Structure 1
Amino acid sequence: MPIIRLIDGINEVVGRIVSLVAILFAVIVIYDIFMRNAFGEPTRWAFDVTKHLYGFYFIMLGGYALRHQAHVKVDLVTARLGHNTRRWVEVAGYIIFFFPFAWVFTTRSWDFAMTSFNQREVTYGAVQLPVYPLKIAMFVAAVLLLIQGVSEFLKLILNKIDYIEQTEPMDVR
């Protein structure tokens, strides 16, 4: 289905791009350690920046993780069920748990982000970094998680798990 390929492709591209933030995160930490140990001059900004980058990194990879089935699942109950029964239990799980959670996460993170943006919220401390970009990223991450849930749900309904896993993600360049 084109919608499944599109959603999977979007989360694949976002996941690969966001994973590069880990490199930037590591460079800043190494730089701060070097400055502290070599010159006795720790940076005033590195701790706050790395907290923001880690938060961004962690939250933005939710849809990517769901696409690759990397979220925690409770397979103790479903492990002994047949393929079709397990599939319908997962469908019920999406309807009862995932979609309500994802909807609340999306709507509340939008409110949270817009409040922060309208106030031009910044951190407190030695360096005042803007907080609203991170909170806007939380909303974007919620949307990515929600649409990836739609993709996974459609795969379950259409029984397309095996087909989708064997194909390459769509190139959305």
Structure 2
Amino acid sequence: MIRIIDGLSEAVGRVVSLLSGVFAAIIIYDVFMRYVMRAPTPWAFDLTKMIFGFYFIMLGGYALRHQAHVKVDLLTSVMAPRTRRWTEILGYLIFFLPFSFVFMLYSWQFGLRSLAQGEVTYGAVQLPVYPLKLAMGVAACLLFLQGIAEMLKLIVGHEDRRHADEVA
């Protein structure tokens, strides 16, 4: 189960990271059109905001898999390994999993409401917003699943592998 969830997070992270090239190309195109051709694009600003939002939210599970989230480990850094492991397990059970579960439920409701309304951006060009809002639900599911995998790693004693990933 851990390998499946880690593999899913890894695959999504690698595919989504490819969007950074698309994101950069749109920005370069828009800057070129605006300042060199004196013909700004009416769609590029909204589209780059949406792509950045998608990029940012979809990489949450990947970041958790690679221990790239911000941690306040002032207390756990001085704990014995066994105490640290159980403190982290409790942290996942008490804080992370309930929060990510609620985030998942509300994100799906948010995205489905946007889809039902056919929500679009306002302005000269109306781009659909619901794909980004539905992506929030997908991202929340991936984050929740990766949280389960990280907690299972702690339970079965894979914390050495987790810390080895940090160094690599």
Q: TM-score w.r.t. structure 2 length?
A: 0.95
Q: Which runs of 4+ in 1 moved over 2 A?
A: 161-167
Find the partner of 1:131 among 117, 129, 132. 129
Aligned pairs (5 A) from 1:7-156: 7-156=5-154
List per-residue Cα deviations over 1:95-118 (Å, max 9, x = no partner): 110011001000000110110011
Q: Which runs of 5+ in 2 are unaligned?
A: none
- In structure 2, how many angstroms separate the alpha carbons of the residues matched to 1:152 and 1:95? 11
Q: Which amino acid aligns with 1:117?
A: L
CA distance in 1, matches of 2:8, 2:103: 19
Please, which of 3, 6, 9 is the counterpart of residue 5 of structure 1? 3
Describe the SS at the equivalent of 2:157. Answer: coil
User: How far apart are the structure 1 equivalents of 2:134 and 2:61?
Assistant: 16
Contact 2:121–2:127 (8 Å) recurs in 1 = yes
Measured after TM superposition, the shift of residue 24 of structure 1 is 0.5
Which residue identity does 2:22 align to in structure 1? L
The one-letter amino acid of 1:59's match is I
Aligned positions, number: 165
Q: Deviations over 1:36-84 (max 9, x none)?
A: 1111011110000000000000000000000000001111111110111
2-side partners of 1:161 and 1:127: how far apart? Answer: 49
Give, in whole Å, the separation in 1 of the partners of 2:83 and 2:74: 14
Q: What's the TM-score once normalised by structure 1's chain length? A: 0.92
- Equivalents in 1 of 2:50, 2:114: separation in Å? 15
CA RMSD of aligned residues (A): 1.3
What amino acid is the match of 1:68? Answer: H
